[in-house]
A and B are shown apart, each in its own frame.
Chain A
């Protein structure tokens, strides 16, 4: 109801007066979004294809570019799988059991999203690095974690830790426990109940959580640049590649990968929207 109608109840019955607030408000939002969101996104595409599609293609099929994309996809996928498994487990524990310190554990699980990514990367370095708490023991062996693919995965896991958990837990909380009771009286073990009854009902939540984790992982920059060493063809993920190419003045190469990342993100985002709708049902 508009402000006018609120002040004067009889106004509702009359033909509603033209309300200037509506078009003004909408215009303001769009105007703000233009330089803040819409134009920057458009410019990658405009600039990327400005020298023709062939140029874009050449920049894209550069081995280092392909490698960085592959590495990003692989590390993000592994991190996603890990965090979905962890998310399901943690959601199960946190909803099914009450125990001392459960709220403290809840805070710790949720913490990683609040920590700046550079800090997260730095923390990992301190732990696994050559002089780190655990890293000093690795130093004696052939095993290395920092500045390898494993480090990137670790960093991705850290920064996306609570995302899958965050979508799975509410779904588990809303789950009708009568269904578990029913399965149990029918003879199902706890695992069978979980496998056949609980898990299928959480499918949408799990997929949404996975997509969120993946989307966040694939764009991760701050922690990755700390722990990976940013070595081309070795530990350079796509976002790092964009940054490195740009620093070298090779804007086209940076732009080509930026476009690919943007498209991947749009795709994931659309999927998330679809599954969100399903979750709400």
Chain B
């Protein structure tokens, strides 16, 4: 993927970028493409999962993440591309010959078998003798704390218990990779959080590479050593949760993982002409950016990176975005969410020599731009805001992306 020319103003992302590709991949997916009729569901998707590492495929429904998992599991065939598991090309193998463990969304426990029989099924298929099987089953039941449920049918277990049985069942035959297909979405929030924690510890202990499929960003952040963001069949970005959150390479990534404000504008010799006014990049930074004049750019920043000040005209941060009017204040507990309407301050800053006519973009007045800001309760207490207040808006961090498209 061609990395767009970007300017990174977020802190310490470089160190994280180093770590991700060193280890020998346990699972490698290369140039996976898949069409269903005219619709292209996977478009040249490639990624690696290192030994003992977990990767989360995160994307909205229809992004192709489930198809990716099914292709790796052997339940779907790709139109082109390779799947390599521990140096073995497996994309042409049948599912049963791949030695992967899948934890399905609704667990897919065999209803007519007991918990123990479910866990032992993979071993039974592999011809493991009943006594040896029982040893493994006992060990796994002990691990998932369900020894007392051994002879029950799955339908008598709670959702969380069924989920644990599904994991034990997948682990029993020592698969080379674990694939979790939206495995937590059917659970209530409390169980989900607890189970995720258990699984993270378990994976760390077992050192099995794991691939999670989810649309839940919180889950992705918690479970993934790395996160891959899929959108419309394309891999938008792959990185550590830290990188993905702090250094998004596309608008989609920025807005899908966490919330983000996106302002569109045009580069004009170190200035960005946004629709409501100008955004100034300090000269020493502007010097490093090679963007042609007139090129479309996007300024992306997270709500928590917005600084609000009631002292107009003076920004408390290095980057001054402009002025706005508070339109809504919502206290949510730990934080306060403020919606601000950007005010049309068409005043062109002093620095640049090139001057364009100010009247030129008067059509922008018709549009209203709102941004979201998130303040800690301490900030909220220090500078109280209510709808109608005028504020000066500064940014602690932001990101510049080229282009106009999503």
Given A183-B121, A187-B173, A196-B121: A178 and B104 interface contact (C-beta under 8 Å): yes
Contact B122 A186 (CB under 8 A): yes
Return the CB mask of B160-190 against A: 1 if under 8 Å, else 0.
0000000001100100000000000000000
Q: Which B residues lie within 8 Å of A176 (CB)?
A: 106, 108
For A200, give its contact among B112, B122, B169 (CB under 8 Å).
B112
Contact B74 A185 (CB under 8 A): yes
Q: Chain A: which residue is nearest B103 at the CB level?
A: A182
Q: Which A residues lie within 8 Å of B173 (CB)?
A: 186-187
Q: Which A residues lie within 8 Å of B25 (CB)?
A: none
Total chain B interface residues with beta-carbon distance under 8 A: 28
Contact B75 A187 (CB under 8 A): no
Q: Which B residues lie within 8 Å of A188 (CB)?
A: 96, 121, 125
Q: Is A44 an interface residue (CB 8 A)?
A: no
Shortest CB-to-CB span from A224 to chain B, Å, is: 38
Return the CB mask of A19-40 against B: 1 if under 8 Å, else 0.
0000000000000000000000
Return the CB mask of A174-186 against B: 1 if under 8 Å, else 0.
0010110111111
Given A176-B108, A184-B75: A189 and B96 interface contact (C-beta under 8 Å): yes
Instruction: Report the bound CA distance from A203 to B112 in whole Å.
Output: 10
Instruction: Report the bound CA distance from A2 to B371 in whole Å.
Output: 59
Q: Chain A: which residue is nearest B70 at the CB level?
A: A181
Q: Which A residues lie within 8 Å of B111 (CB)?
A: 179, 201
Q: Which A residues lie within 8 Å of B169 (CB)?
A: 186
Given A187-B96, A187-B126: A181 and B102 interface contact (C-beta under 8 Å): yes
Shortest CB-to-CB span from B114 to chain A, Å, is: 12
Instruction: Report the bound CA distance from A188 to B112 in whole Å.
Output: 16
Q: Which B residues lie within 8 Å of A196 (CB)?
A: 110, 113, 121, 124
Q: Chain A: which residue is nearest B74 at the CB level?
A: A185
Instruction: Report the bound CA distance from A196 to B124 in whole Å.
Output: 11
Shortest CB-to-CB span from B162 to chain A, Å, is: 13
Q: Chain A: which residue is nearest B126 at the CB level?
A: A187
Q: Is A192 an interface residue (CB 8 A)?
A: yes
Q: Is B98 an interface residue (CB 8 A)?
A: yes
Q: Is B83 an interface residue (CB 8 A)?
A: no
Given A186-B173, A189-B96, A201-B111: A181 and B125 interface contact (C-beta under 8 Å): no
Contact A182 B104 (CB under 8 A): yes
Shortest CB-to-CB span from A42 to chain B, Å, is: 42
Which A192-246 residues have C-beta < 8 A from chain B?
Answer: 192, 196-197, 200-201, 203
Q: Which of A179, A187, A189, A201 has the most CB of B within 10 A?
A: A187
Contact A187 B122 (CB under 8 A): yes
Instruction: Report the bound CA distance from A203 to B98 in whole Å.
Output: 31
Q: Which B residues lie within 8 Å of A201 (CB)?
A: 111-112
Contact A182 B108 (CB under 8 A): yes
Q: Chain B: which residue is nearest A188 at the CB level?
A: B125
Contact B121 A181 (CB under 8 A): no
Q: Which B residues lie within 8 Å of A181 (CB)?
A: 73, 75, 95, 102, 104, 108
Contact A187 B102 (CB under 8 A): no
Return the CB mask of B89-118 against A: 1 if under 8 Å, else 0.
000001111111110111010111100000
Q: Which A residues lie within 8 Å of B102 (CB)?
A: 181-182, 185
Q: Chain A: which residue is nearest B97 at the CB level?
A: A187
Shortest CB-to-CB span from B211 to chain A, Å, is: 13
For B110, give its contact among A183, A185, A203 (CB under 8 Å).
A183
Instruction: Report the bound CA distance from A203 to B75 in whole Å.
Output: 26
Shortest CB-to-CB span from A230 to chain B, Å, is: 45
Q: Which B residues lie within 8 Å of A200 (CB)?
A: 110, 112-113
Shortest CB-to-CB span from B376 to chain A, Å, is: 45
Instruction: Report the bound CA distance from A276 to B98 in whole Å.
Output: 40
Q: Which A residues lie within 8 Å of B95 (CB)?
A: 181, 184-185
Contact A185 B75 (CB under 8 A): yes
Contact A184 B96 (CB under 8 A): yes
Instruction: Report the bound CA distance from A179 to B124 in whole Å.
Output: 16
Return the CB mask of A242-271 against B: 1 if under 8 Å, else 0.
000000000000000000000000000000
Shortest CB-to-CB span from A172 to chain B, Å, is: 15
For A186, give its contact among B94, B112, B121 (CB under 8 Å).
B121
Q: Which of B112, B124, B126, B169 has the most CB of A within 10 A?
A: B112
Q: Chain B: which residue is nearest A197 at the CB level?
A: B110
Instruction: Report the bound CA distance from A184 to B74 in whole Å.
Output: 9
Q: Which A residues lie within 8 Å of B125 (CB)?
A: 186-188, 192
Contact A185 B106 (CB under 8 A): no
Instruction: Report the bound CA distance from A172 to B234 in whole Å.
Output: 36
Q: Chain B: which residue is nearest A179 at the CB level?
A: B108
Q: Which A residues lie within 8 Å of B106 (CB)?
A: 176, 178
Q: Chain B: which residue is nearest A201 at the CB level?
A: B112
Q: Which A residues lie within 8 Å of B124 (CB)?
A: 196
Instruction: Report the bound CA distance from A147 to B95 in whole Å.
Output: 52
Contact B96 A185 (CB under 8 A): yes
Q: Which B residues lie within 8 Å of A203 (CB)?
A: 112
Q: Which of A183, A186, A189 has the most CB of B within 10 A?
A: A186
Q: Which of A185, A187, A196, A200 has the most CB of B within 10 A?
A: A185
Given A185-B75, A186-B125, A196-B121: A179 and B96 interface contact (C-beta under 8 Å): no
Shortest CB-to-CB span from B179 to chain A, Å, is: 8
Instruction: Report the bound CA distance from A188 to B126 in whole Å.
Output: 8
Q: Which B residues lie within 8 Å of A189 (CB)?
A: 96
Instruction: Report the bound CA distance from A246 to B101 in whole Å.
Output: 68
Q: Which of B73, B95, B111 has the most CB of A within 10 A?
A: B95
Q: Chain A: which residue is nearest B172 at the CB level?
A: A186
Contact A187 B110 (CB under 8 A): no
Shortest CB-to-CB span from A72 to chain B, Å, is: 34
For B101, give its contact among A179, A184, A185 (CB under 8 Å).
A185
Interchain residue pairs with CB less than 8 A apart (23): A178-B106, A179-B108, A179-B110, A179-B111, A181-B95, A182-B104, A183-B121, A185-B75, A185-B96, A186-B125, A186-B169, A186-B170, A186-B173, A187-B99, A187-B122, A187-B125, A187-B126, A188-B96, A189-B96, A192-B125, A197-B112, A200-B112, A201-B111
Beyond the given pairs A178-B105, A179-B110, 5 more chain A to chain B contacts, judged by CB atoms under 8 angstroms and listed by A's residue number, are A176-B106, A185-B102, A186-B173, A189-B96, A200-B113
- 9 closest A-B pairs by beta carbon, nearest first, are A200-B112, A182-B108, A178-B108, A186-B122, A184-B95, A185-B102, A187-B125, A187-B96, A188-B125
